[in-house]
A and B are shown apart, each in its own frame.
Chain A
């Protein structure tokens, strides 16, 4: 079945850029997503990219998609302490709405 992989942990200093990486296996993926989960809360959609795009920018967030390598990344510019959370990569493919989530990357921002 489909598989989405992420590194488990990332630590950055406040003000630096964060880059969170994700690889997936489903070549028929149509949409790829980044969700954020803060402690004690549900997942919140940050941004998404359609598979025919290679980049999407939304304020401090930049999503890069390399469809050939099945690699997705999320860059957070000027990382703030409020960005500390778990970030999930996810993808959807096929005819149904079953989204496959990655394991999540815990981002720690050091003041």
Chain B
């Protein structure tokens, strides 16, 4: 398996623009997670899905952030409008959940977002 795939790997955009980050989880995994990592705040869980249904979005910073999972093989995280404080590395992770018993998460390589 190719692992979790994220695109783009790097994104530089201007303040006010819309940004869409994409994720393809590992086939057969039933859970998907979006994280944000910064030096100041460390690793933060933004939202996670189970069987394509959002379970907990309490980590989404504000209404500018939205996430969708239209099917088991694709998810997006959208920021509209973007602000400089959104600059971070955004990770997507997927998990087989209880099917393997240990709920381990597999991380993608991340998208480094810079908002100027």
Q: Give the B-binding residues of A (Cβ under 8 A).
A: 31, 33, 35, 41-45, 48, 50, 88, 92, 96-99, 101, 103-104
Question: Which of A42, A44, A88 has the most C-beta atoms of chain B within 10 angstroms of its own C-beta?
Answer: A42
B45: CB under 8 A from chain A?
A: yes
B73: CB under 8 A from chain A?
A: no
In the assembly, what is the distance between CA of A48 and CA of B101, in Å? Answer: 11
B97 touches A44 (CB 8 A): no
In the assembly, what is the distance between CA of A110 and CA of B94, in Å? Answer: 34
B18: CB under 8 A from chain A?
A: no
**Per-residue contact bits, chain B 76-116, to A (CB 8 Å; 1 contact, 0 not):** 00000000000000010101010000111111111000000
- On chain B, which size bracket covers the interface? 20 to 34
The 9 closest A-B pairs by CB, nearest first: A42-B107, A43-B107, A45-B104, A101-B43, A103-B42, A97-B31, A97-B103, A42-B109, A92-B103
B residues in contact with A97, CB < 8 Å: 31, 48, 50, 95, 97, 103
A residues in contact with B107, CB < 8 Å: 35, 42-44
Q: Give the A-binding residues of B (Cβ under 8 A).
A: 4, 31, 33, 42-43, 45, 48, 50, 55-56, 91, 93, 95, 97, 102-110
Interface SS of chain B: strand
Interface SS of chain A: strand
In the assembly, what is the distance between CA of A44 and CA of B91, in Å? Answer: 12
A residues in contact with B93, CB < 8 Å: 42-43
In the assembly, what is the distance between CA of A93 and CA of B104, in Å? Answer: 13
Q: Can you list 26 A-B contacts with CB-CB less than 8 angstroms, sorted by A residue number?
A: A41-B109, A42-B4, A42-B91, A42-B107, A42-B109, A42-B110, A43-B91, A43-B93, A44-B107, A45-B104, A45-B105, A45-B106, A48-B102, A96-B50, A96-B56, A97-B50, A97-B95, A97-B97, A98-B48, A98-B56, A99-B105, A101-B42, A101-B45, A103-B42, A104-B42, A104-B43
Beyond A33-B104, A45-B105, whether A98 also contacts B95 by CB under 8 A is: no
In the assembly, what is the distance between CA of A44 and CA of B55, in Å? Answer: 24
